[in-house]
Structure 1
């Protein structure tokens, strides 16, 4: 089956964060948005069919997730896509990846313990840690020739501190698009084992990886499974965040039980939405072909971005990422501040593209543009970007 990702679907009027509430991010609603990381594509037909059939059933009572159809769909996906032998028993449901990370930090640390993370990074990590009481320790990525690498020397110094307890990792990395290699992951695992540091890895972009790169679950590379936890979801893969739900692999039984107890007994959040459960089962069991076509389409979108910037925007540097549908653009050569760039984008180009400052970029000026959309919208957005840049150059 061939999917028409060029199809334009009007999302306005659906209470959509990206389209209906863009004023929250950009100060006005009539911008063409390329912001929050969901896509402007309809979900796979198998998911839509499963939702339609259950809607016709018409009863929406309480739902369970702790059963073989849900968990085996997940483990089968990992086996077929990543050659990963994940156990059903490791799986826990969670309402969101950020909720999972928040509760795990609560379980594994005391107040003022150190949580280390790479920067730039996913903005929700910073908000979570600012509210948690633990100390956030930034491990700036090294940026050179348009690529990012981990500063392992600095990381070891940070991990060796007495109050260091967790490395909050991201693979593939948001916003840079790095897919960490086997060697990089083995170094991370080795350092964390040396200093008895738990790794919490947000792998939600795992399925959007481009040619010549490979996502590797950290559980594939360590014998000490008690030290690693993967938090993820099918929502980025199948464009289903509003259906609710995520899951985590927690091999350590004690941590897993503590997490489940907090979620179910204390917070009362263990009952998933039926559509969230159905989307995981239908998507993982029947929509692999759709993901393959999606990644190919997104790869061509990234190539479109690269060609346009090379031809039309010589003062912006862009290197096609290894993963994600997030184009990370280096605007450091532009003769304008972040604030001036955003003002031009919003008020001259009428386009909403996220500032790199949101992700606590270490140096320079960047934009993060969500290219998970039909090519017609993408080209329109790039032309608006050019109009904005021309006005400030």
Structure 2
């Protein structure tokens, strides 16, 4: 059966990071990319229609985000998708998730304070913490039989240090695709409360989940939400990162006011992009069905990778993740270095797949492959991966 997601759309020449600027990441241009996490799919028709109507209007003046239409679309999404009650007052606009995390770290901590974080981790977290002159303290995830778990005894040890002020969580987890359970989240919150540590949670991958599993926001596992800060966006889900805009959920009124002060008065960033704003409202109000179809298409892509690797590349190990459109592939069995593997991918297979050490995973050789693409592109990428791997075993 033909799916809307099967359509291959040429993204070259659109100034897009993944296709037009491959050289930045891999040193050469002529690769088939599976790198930065946006998708090769068109956004839902509801978004395209609303943006076209707005474009036809032709006046693009200054825009407000602080109104019921915008904020209630977000509370509606949390209630209908995750059975989670978010107060409208808690919601603040932000230009990006990384901006929100940076400002919250600035507000909640001082220089040389400890920021605790599970690794491997989203690569942008490392320079962020370092630029802010905070000390990054890693809580490496336990890796066993292709699955990652939180090392809670190590986590408690790191949180109990008086200098630990923030746990920077990723829920669901990028790059491993773990979707933290209610028990795990509750344990995290209990430990943080015990040691007076605040939790900043990057939940941008929250909508892409598989096998009837559902993302749980941290605010749903505790009654005391004053030390919880959720940073998220509709951009990952609906493929609209180029439209700008994200939001944070900040139940603590004092911190929320401080955040808005920095956003508006110091950084001059409180005026929203009208297209980003419209995209959120349309998507969250009317495109839930599209996300369901997307998740089933992406899950099928994951199954294709699993079968391909098991049959064609048995030295590699791949477990289908619980969430995200990122395939985290264990290539340790090749007995090659990350560098050797990358050289083969770039020079032999002509394929751009992110190396695992970028995400701070140094206990083996891994690849992070973005599978948010039509099946035909994925199959082509897997064949290129195979060509690269075969060249290594013959060398």
TM category, shorter: over 0.9
**Root-mean-square deviation (Å):** 0.8
Instruction: Give the unaligned 5+ runs of structure 2.
Output: none
Alpha-carbon distance, 1:3 to partner = 5.5
Partner SS, residue 367 of structure 1: strand
Q: Distance in 1 between matches of 2:32 and 2:359?
A: 21
Tell me the secondary structure at the aligned position of residue 33 of structure 2. strand
Give CA-to-partner distance per residue, 1:218-276, whole Å, 9 cap, x none: 10011111110110000011000000000010000000000000000100000111100
Please give the secondary structure, in 2, of the residue aligned with 1:173. coil
Contact 1:116–1:137 (8 Å) recurs in 2? yes
Query: What's 2:256 paired with?
Result: 256
**Aligned equivalent of 1:215:** 215
Distance of 1:3 and 1:269 partners within structure 2: 39
- Equivalent residue number for residue 203 of structure 1: 203
TM-score by length of 1: 0.99
State the partner residue of 1:385.
385
Distance 2:213 2:243 in 1: 29
Contact 1:3 1:293 in 2 (8 A): no
CA distance in 2 between counterparts of 1:25 and 1:180 reads 30
Matches within 5 A, 1:234-245: 234-245=234-245
| Residues 169 and 200, structure 1, Cα contact 8 Å, conserved in 2 | yes
Aligned to 1:9: 9
Which residue of the partner structure matches residue 268 of structure 1? 268
CA distance in 2 between counterparts of 1:380 and 1:34 reads 11
**Aligned ranges 1:1-393 → 2 under 5 Å:** 4-393=4-393
TM-score, scaled relative to structure 2:
0.98
CA distance in 2, matches of 1:363, 1:48: 44
Contact 1:97 1:247 in 2 (8 A): yes
In 1: Cα distance, 2:162 partner to 2:373 partner: 46
- Distance (whole Å) between structure 2 residues aligned to residue 366 and residue 357 of structure 1: 7
2-structure distance, mates of 1:222, 1:362: 34
Counterparts of 2:41 and 2:211 in 1: how far apart (Å)? 21
Instruction: Quote the offset at 1:336 in angstroms.
Output: 1.4
Counterparts of 2:32 and 2:333, CA distance in 1: 24
Question: What SS is found at the alignment partner of 2:282?
Answer: helix
Deviations 1:354-393, CA, capped at 9 Å, x for gaps: 0000000040000000000000000000000000000001
Once residues 272 and 3 of structure 2 are traced to their aligned partners in structure 1, the CA distance between those partners, rounded to angstroms, is 29
Q: CA deviation at 1:213?
A: 2.2
Structure 1's consecutive aligned runs of 4 or more residues displaced over 4 angstroms after TM superposition are none
Deviation at 1:212, TM superposition (A): 4.1
How many residue pairs match? The answer is: 392
8 A contact 1:119–1:362 mirrored in 2? no
Gaps of 5+ in 1: none
